[in-house]
């Protein structure tokens, strides 16, 4: 059995790394998971020797969080001809904060041989930094890609935090326009909904509002999680998004920052139940059949098998 050593965050039952590890195992790989923030390496060469004995076809890192002597660790793995890669789930360009410093300095794990990234819009920026980058988007774990049919008790919801200014403006506008018909989940400990309860929430909701940091050919995992769990999604238009999703068939797109366009589409789909349900079910089928973590991990491992 081919082996993979995976450094990531595996503490919560909804951590992306857990889904990826499970998908890799479902594909037939042996996966050893190492909690990244416990990686305080005191003896790099000793750990490299352990990795050699384990003999993985890939040492995979996640999100750029490993600490300690991980920079040296990765360099030693390269010298030993052991494949190294990092899968980034976030955007590192076009941000109000400078998240790209690690990329520019090539600190661990940005010094891996290959960076897999959900960002498909900054090929030149990665290339200018001398980074071998492959676009690999996220997905949903196939065993949780389940569609429920439930009575609609929510009209409009948003699931997630206030992570940037434009989102705060969006959510405040929706609350002002729709009052108690608009509800938020996931912005405090008492409203966090994950795993299969999230499927139940989406099934009992008419419209789910989507959002991601504005950037060409980048969208967050919220799309796959919403559609794959059976939600009807209204999402801002993003350059490249229709390479994967068909507007009006799998989801409905609106002009970003155009609240009148968003309001008109909300009002329309609140009252057109059959059309909304048809789109909801088509979006679920697409993600379940094409965009699971099993699909993504299969694409990842084509580079190493």
Residue 125 confidence (pLDDT) above 80: yes
Residue 303 confidence (pLDDT) above 60: yes
**For 142-290, CATH number?**
3.40.50.2000
Residue 131 has a pLDDT of: 94
| 104 vs 63, higher pLDDT | 104
Q: What percent of the chain has pLDDT over 90?
A: 77
- Tell me the C-alpha distance between 138 and 136, whole Å: 7
Residue pair 177/262 in contact (Cβ under 8 Å)? The answer is no
- Tell me the C-alpha distance between 115 and 107, whole Å: 13
- Tell me the C-alpha distance between 196 and 199, whole Å: 5
Q: Regarding beta strands 154-159 and 205-209, do their DSSP bridges make them parallel or antiparallel, or are they unpaired? A: parallel
Residue 192 has a pLDDT of: 77
Please check whether the two domains, 3-136 and 142-290, share a CATH topology. Answer: yes
Residue 68 confidence (pLDDT) above 70: no
Contacts of 290 (CB under 8 A, 6+ apart): none
Residue 187 confidence (pLDDT) above 90: no
pLDDT in tens, 130-151: 999 999 999 999 999 999 999 9
Residue 66 has a pLDDT of: 55
Residue 71 has a pLDDT of: 84
pTM of the model: 0.93
Residue 40 confidence (pLDDT) above 90: no
Please state the three-class secondary structure of the chain as a single string: CCEEEEEECCCCCCCHHHHHHHHHHHCCCEEEEEEHHHCCCCCHHHHHHHHHHHCCCEEEEECCCCCCCHHHHHHHHHHCCCCEEEEECCCCCCCCCCCCHHHHHCCCCCCCCEEEECCCCCHHHHHHCCCCEEECCCCECHHHCCCCCCCCCEEEEEECCCCCHHHHHHHHHHHHHHHHHEEEECCCHHHCCCHHHHHHHHHCEEEEECCCCCCCCCCCCHHHHHHHCCCCEEEECCCCHHHCCCECCCEEEECCCCHHHHHHHHHHHHHCHHHHHHHHHHHHHHHHHHCEHHHHHHHHHCCCC
| 288 vs 72, higher pLDDT | 288
Residue 190 has a pLDDT of: 66
Residue pair 251/283 in contact (Cβ under 8 Å)? The answer is yes
Q: Is the dihedral of CA 146, 288, 195, 5 positive or negative?
A: positive
Domain segments of the chain as ranges: 3-136, 142-290
Mean pLDDT across 209-220: 94
Residue 65 confidence (pLDDT) above 90: no
Residue 76 confidence (pLDDT) above 80: yes
Residue 248 CB-half CA count within 13 A? 1
Mean pLDDT across 245-261: 97
How sure is the predictor about 100, in pLDDT bands with cuts at 50, 70 and 90? confident
What does pLDDT average to over the chain?
92
pLDDT in tens, 1-12: 999 999 998 988
**For 3-136, CATH number?**
3.40.50.2000
Residue 202 confidence (pLDDT) above 90: yes
Specify the range with the lowest mean pLDDT, choosing from 24-28, 110-114, 123-127, 164-168. 164-168
Residue 153 confidence (pLDDT) above 70: yes
Mean pLDDT across 32-42: 73
How sure is the predictor about 17, in pLDDT bands with cuts at 50, 70 and 90? very high
Question: Across 43-47, 90-94, 117-121, 161-165, which has the greatest mean pLDDT?
Answer: 117-121
């Amino acid at each position: 059995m081919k082996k993979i050593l995976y450094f990531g965050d595996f503490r919560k039952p909804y951590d992306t790394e857990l889904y990826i590890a499970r998908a890799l195992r479902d594909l037939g790989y042996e996966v050893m998971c190492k909690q990244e923030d416990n990686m305080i390496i005191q003896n790099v060469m000793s750990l490299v020797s352990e990795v050699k004995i384990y003999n993985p076809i890939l040492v995979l890192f996640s999100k750029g969080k490993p600490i300690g002597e991980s920079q040296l660790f990765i360099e030693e793995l390269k010298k030993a001809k052991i494949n190294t890669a990092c899968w980034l789930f976030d955007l590192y360009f076009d941000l109000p904060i400078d998240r790209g410093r690690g990329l520019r300095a090539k600190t661990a794990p940005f010094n891996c041989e290959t960076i897999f990234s959900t960002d498909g819009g900054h090929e030149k920026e990665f290339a200018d930094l001398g980074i071998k980058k492959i676009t690999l988007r996220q997905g949903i774990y196939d065993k949780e890609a389940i569609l429920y049919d439930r009575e609609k008790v929510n009209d409009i919801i948003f699931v997630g935090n206030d992570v940037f200014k434009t989102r705060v403006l969006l959510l405040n506008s929706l609350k002002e326009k729709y009052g108690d018909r608009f509800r938020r989940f996931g912005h405090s400990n008492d409203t966090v909904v994950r795993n299969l309860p999230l499927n139940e929430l989406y099934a009992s909701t008419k419209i789910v509002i989507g959002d991601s940091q504005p950037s060409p050919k980048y969208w967050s995992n919220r799309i796959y999680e919403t559609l794959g769990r059976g939600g009807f999604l209204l999402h801002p238009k993003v350059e490249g998004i229709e390479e994967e999703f068909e507007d009006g068939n799998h989801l409905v797109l609106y002009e970003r920052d155009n609240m009148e366009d968003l309001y008109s589409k909300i009002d329309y789909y609140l009252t057109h139940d059959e059309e909304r349900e048809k789109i909801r079910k088509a979006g679920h089928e697409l993600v379940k059949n094409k965009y699971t973590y099993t699909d993504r991990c299969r694409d990842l491992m084509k580079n190493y098998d």
